Amino acid sequence: MRRSLRGQLCAAVAAGAGLRGNGTNRSRPGANAPDHDLLGDRAYARRDLRSRALRRRGRACGRGVQHRRYDRSGCRMELARRGRGHLPDATRHGGRLHPLHRVAQPPTRCQQNQGSSMKIWLPTIRARSGADVYVERLATALRQRGAEPVVEWLPHTYQYAPWLLSRRRVPPGTDIINAVSWSAFAFGHRGVPLVVTTHHCVAGRGYPAWKSYPQMLFHDQLVRRFEQASFRAADAVVAVSESTRHDVCEDFGSGTNIHVISNWVDTQVFSPSPHAVGDGAGKTRILIVGNMSRRKGGDLIAPFCNALGRAFEVTVVAGLRGEQPKVSTRGARLNFTSGLTTAQLVTAYRNTDIVVSLSRHEGFGYTALEGMACGKPVVAFNVSGLRDVIVNGDTGLLAQVDDVVALAAHCRTLREHRAQANAMGQAGRQRAVTVFAQERAIDAHLALYTELLTR
């Protein structure tokens, strides 16, 4: 009696799913039924119902969900792929679906046009840092190459609860999702390839030198977990420097899917002045660009100016956060400014003699590269990110971290040896054009995107 009731229940479930044992499929009028009897296979009926529920959920949420079902022999069938609708009618034969390995998927738009119409979604938490600059430059360069980048700026508060971003819908027709490692896990498993960009590793580093106790707890207890989840969900990981790749491998294990694509600069925009700047007389001008956090060396500005002496003039361009700390110096003259446009920033680089970075930790030295592209020698600490950009003794001079006295001594050396400073500026310009050119970086991004879409 019990077996009979279970058989009846199975038959009712199968009938509700539109499957009949007499060869009629009510869910698709006029379609032929599968060759085998489905009513007797309770597991198949349950899997079919689950597949239909997933399909309805995918349509409701607008997400790419890959739905599958199985025939009685265990062969996997594919009903939809990447949220782009059902398989073409050419793959259906009398209401039946081909096994997965026999279905020829139609090429995506980017495959048909060799990347020219690729749509890349860039969901980004506004951080007012170099990560924002990276996204803006990436979107601009991709657009120039004929791609369709979609930048979605998200409130900064999501940085502390990025899992809430899993509710965001993927824009229709998206080919690639590219997000940063602190939040990328929220955009994984959407049926769209996920590229995770990591700028630098902060967990387990910097305390107490440039990190407060609350920052240390946030980085070590939360950010580390965010990044670990992102790397697990990623189809590919992009590190912006070799130092960053090394740190990721050290912290999270094997880096088999990590691609080093260095940050870049538009060398047509950031370029040397077409006219001679200064005559070598008067004060030597130094430019510092960046946010005034402890990691960026904001607390070292006063001791650095004191170590320089009165023969120098220091201009600090506060970063996107615009902090201008109150600093009292007894040495070099100090000026603060902020809110510069790109054209104004390029002019500031061109009008200086030496570019200095006081950063204690970097994923990539944007300031150093921009200064080199404008033909200026760079003086900085020998730390990750900066040593990836600066060739010590060739394009600039490096000192041990926090040693502002040695940093000031390097600046005096360049003041006293103008020919050496000019040679370093020219070598820096050449390195920026050949190693960190925009075309080279965007080619690498597009090649990676295309590879993921053709797997």
**Are 87 and 80 spatial neighbours (Cβ–Cβ below 8 Å)?**
yes
Q: Kindly report, residue by residue over 188-211, the tens digit of the pLDDT.
A: 999 999 999 999 999 999 988 899
Is the model more confident about 91 or about 339? 339
Residue 183 has pLDDT above 80, yes or no: yes
- Which residues, 6+ apart, have CB-to-CB distance to 166 below 8 Å? 186, 187
Q: Can you tell me the mean pLDDT for 366-374?
A: 97
φ, ψ at 302 (rounded to 5°): -65, -50
Domains of the chain as residue ranges with CATH: 2-102 (no CATH), 117-264+439-453 (3.40.50.2000), 284-436 (3.40.50.2000)
The per-residue pLDDT for range 72-87, each reduced to its tens digit, is 333 333 333 333 333 3
- Confidence band (pLDDT; 50, 70, 90) for 282? confident
| pLDDT on residue 14 | 43
| pLDDT at position 265 over 80 | yes
Name residue 69's beta-bridge partners. 77
Radius of gyration of the CA atoms of the chain, in A: 29
More confident residue, 9 or 411: 411
The per-residue pLDDT for 331 is 87
Residue 232 has pLDDT above 90, yes or no: yes
User: Per-residue pLDDT for 132 more than 90?
Assistant: yes
Q: What is the pLDDT of residues 320-358, one digit of tens each?
A: 665 666 777 788 999 999 889 999 999 999 999 999 999
Torsion over CA of 142, 148, 153 and 159, rounded to 10 degrees? Answer: -70
280 — pLDDT class (breaks 50, 70, 90): low
Task: Give the mean pLDDT of 106-132.
Answer: 75
Nearest to 379 by CA among 430, 342, 340, 420: 420
- Distance (Å, rounded) from C-alpha 49 to C-alpha 56? 11
Residue 349 makes CB contacts below 8 A (sequence gap 6+) with 270, 287, 355, 370, 371, 374, 376
Please say if the pLDDT value at position 11 is more than 70. Answer: no
Q: How confident is the model at residue 455 (pLDDT cuts 50, 70, 90)?
A: confident
Distant-in-sequence, close-in-space partners of 407: CB < 8 Å, separation ≥ 6? 304, 307, 356, 358, 379, 380, 381, 399
pLDDT tens sequence across 31-68: 343 343 333 444 444 555 555 555 555 544 444 444 34
Sequence length of the chain is: 455
For residues 426-431, give the mean pLDDT: 98
In the three-class reduction of DSSP (H, G, I as helix; E, B as strand; rest coil), residue 337 is classed as: strand
DSSP string, 398-430: EE-TT-HHHHHHHHHHHHH-HHHHHHHHHHHHH
Q: Residue 125: pLDDT band by 50, 70, 90 thresholds?
A: very high
Mean pLDDT over the full length of the chain: 80
Q: 242 in the Ramachandran plot: left (φ > 0), alpha (ψ -120 to 50) or beta? A: alpha
pTM: 0.74
- At residue 172's C-alpha, the angle toward residues 166 and 177, to 5°, is 55
Closest CA to 291 of 350, 210, 214: 210
What is the arithmetic mean of pLDDT over 165-185?
Answer: 96
Cα separation, 406 vs 408, whole angstroms: 5
